[in-house]
Chain A
Amino acid sequence: MIYFDSAATTFQKPASVASAVAEALHTMSSPGRGGYRAAMRAAETVFECREELSHLFHMKDSGKVVFTMNATHGLNLAIKSLVPPGGRAIISGYEHNAVTRPLRALGANTVEARGTLFHPEETLSAFDALIHPGVDAVICTHVSNVFGTVQPIEGIAAMCREREVPLIIDASQSAGVLPLDMEALGAAYIAMPGHKSLYGPQGTGVLLCSEGRESRTLMEGGTGSMSIQQEMPDFLPDRLEAGTHNVPGIAGLLAGIRYVRKKGVENICQKERQLALLAAEGLQKISGVKVYALPGLHGQTGVVSFSVEGKDSETVAEELGKRDIAVRAGLHCAPAAHRSAGTLEQGTVRLSFSDFNTTEEVLRFLDHMCTLQAG
């Protein structure tokens, strides 16, 4: 199979990830639940993973690294900590349902800072006009999951710091692909999946929390600490980590992060962008295909969307699927992004690459696309 759906989940993982999961299943129990060997091995692994994450994302205190089930879980924790029911939120025009649905559930007064696709300066101006003291939170995806466009997150973060408005970053498409500096950005929270470009197993996610934030719990339960007290601990990570940890998942995530650090975030990004560029340039030569990208994929990661004239995006994906090529079609759980780009009616076909894809795979995909369009 040729797998080009890494923006959903990286399917091919480093071999060390599967080994780490298997080892955890055989040798580890639960952290914070005992002083015996299996519990302490689990605790050591979970702590090492927090430490790796704090290094990768430039955090001083690994105790502010919270494990979640996925990025959606982290975003829900962050949004519901900062935005009260009926509160005010500013979001970009390219947000995923993981952001917009929690805001809808809160009945928040949500305003979109819209900019034309691939014009970050427009997005920045839109945020500039909307970020005022009194806004409960600004929530912005770092990279669009549909178009791969990189949002001007540094500029948005600077505005938030200056105007003292908390910022939540959805790093679902950037963690492990672009540099992210929690301390320099001054974000209140950064949420990310473990199972995408950090190469961990599904069921892993991370929420990076800033100093001194009073985080609201979504779940309450055992933490292995302060057991007499019936309120959740007021300190992180325990406050947000009720119940048994996904130790095999975290062990796999640790191996995935080590892979990313060894290969280098910049190197992985460069490789994925080159593959995306090859695909985009090849697709642009095929009659009836529209590619959503700037020349040279300026301001874009290894994610490319395209559409085929007169064909539903799902039909294109199905035809590719029959040829054992895995792509994602439709609205990608991000109708807001498609509304902003004017692709809501048709949707798009999305190609998203990982460090495990090859030039040969892209060329084979392009051959199949030529055949499909010719046929």
Chain B
Amino acid sequence: MEQYVILARSVTYAQRMQKLLGQAGIRCQISRAPRDLTDLGCAYILRLDEKNVAQALTILRLEGFDPLRLFLSSQGRYREVQLT
């Protein structure tokens, strides 16, 4: 099953993103970032459905959460999605 994940640099950052998206009715789940998603060590990710990705990115950018990194997760593998 495919799922999108947004990388967050800390748990507080992830929680602030989750709260903001929740206010827009977008549900997402926080979990630890797989080691290969970040070259800076410990981080967190938000998992969200494909249908919500575009709106989520718009909201997060509007609230200053740039730069964002988005990954597509499929069968345990992650591929970074280039954002414009």
Instruction: Give which listed residue, B10, B16, B19, contacts A32 with CB less than 8 A.
Output: B10
A203 CB-CB contact with B under 8 Å: no
What CA separation (Å) do A31 and B9 show in the bound complex?
A: 14
Q: How far is the CA of A61 from the CA of B16 in the complex (A)?
A: 9
List chain A residues, Cβ under 8 A from B79.
none
A1-42 CB contact bits vs B (8 Å, 1 = yes)? 000000000000000000000000000000110110000100
Interface size of A by CB at 8 A reads 25
Per-residue CB proximity of B20-58 to A under 8 Å, as 1/0? 000000000011100000011111100000000000000
Contact A228 B10 (CB under 8 A): no
Given A32-B10, A223-B10, A226-B9, A43 and B15 touching (CB < 8 A)?
A: yes
Docked pose: A172 CA to B4 CA in angstroms: 45
Residues in A with CB closer than 8 Å to B31 are: 35
> Roughly how many angstroms separate A62 CA and B17 CA in the complex, as a whole number?
11
Alpha-carbon separation in the docked complex, A131 to B74 (Å): 60
List A151-166 residues whose CB lies under 8 Å from chain B.
none
Bound complex: CA A44 to CA B30 (Å)? 11
> Which residues of chain A come closer than 8 Å to B12, judged between CB atoms?
32, 46-47, 50, 63, 237-238
- A227 with B15: CB separation less than 8 A: no
Contact indicator A32/B42 (Cβ below 8 Å): yes
Residues of B close to A63: CB separation below 8 A: 12-13, 16
State in angstroms the CA–CA spacing of A6 and B54 once bound together: 52
Contacts of B59 in A (CB 8 A): none
A371 on the B face (CB < 8 A): no
At the interface, yes or no: B72 with Cβ under 8 Å from chain A? no
Inter-chain residue pair count (beta carbon < 8 A): 58
| Distance in angstroms between the alpha carbons of A226 and B13 in the assembled complex | 12
> Is B11 part of the binding interface, using a Cβ–Cβ cutoff of 8 Å?
yes
Residue of B nearest to A46 (CB): B12
Contacts of B32 in A (CB 8 A): 34-35
Residues of B within 8 A of A40 (CB): 30
* Contact in complex: B40, A228 (CB < 8 Å): yes
Q: Judging by beta carbons under 8 Å apart, are A226 and B15 in contact? A: no
Report if A225-B9 is in contact (Cβ < 8 Å); known contacts: A40-B30, A63-B16: yes
A35 — which chain B residues lie within 8 A by C-beta? 30-32, 44
Q: Is the CB of A227 within 8 A of B41?
A: yes
Partner of A225, one of B19, B30, B43: B43
Q: How far is the CA of A237 from the CA of B9 in the complex (A)?
A: 12
CB-defined contacts of A224 to chain B, threshold 8 Å:
10-11, 42
Closest chain A CB from B61 CB (angstroms)? 16
Contact A47–B15 (Cβ < 8 Å)? yes
Instruction: Assess the B40–A226 pair: CB atoms within 8 A.
Output: yes
Q: A50 to B10, alpha carbons, bound, how many Å?
A: 15
* Interchain residue pairs A-B with the least CB separation, the first 8: A227-B41, A35-B32, A225-B10, A228-B41, A32-B11, A47-B15, A227-B42, A35-B31
5 contacts between A and B (CB under 8 A): A31-B11, A32-B11, A51-B19, A224-B42, A228-B39
Interface residues of A (CB under 8 A from B): 31-32, 34-35, 40, 43-44, 46-47, 50-51, 61-63, 223-229, 233, 235, 237-238
Binding site for A on B (CB under 8 A): 9-13, 15-16, 19, 30-32, 39-44
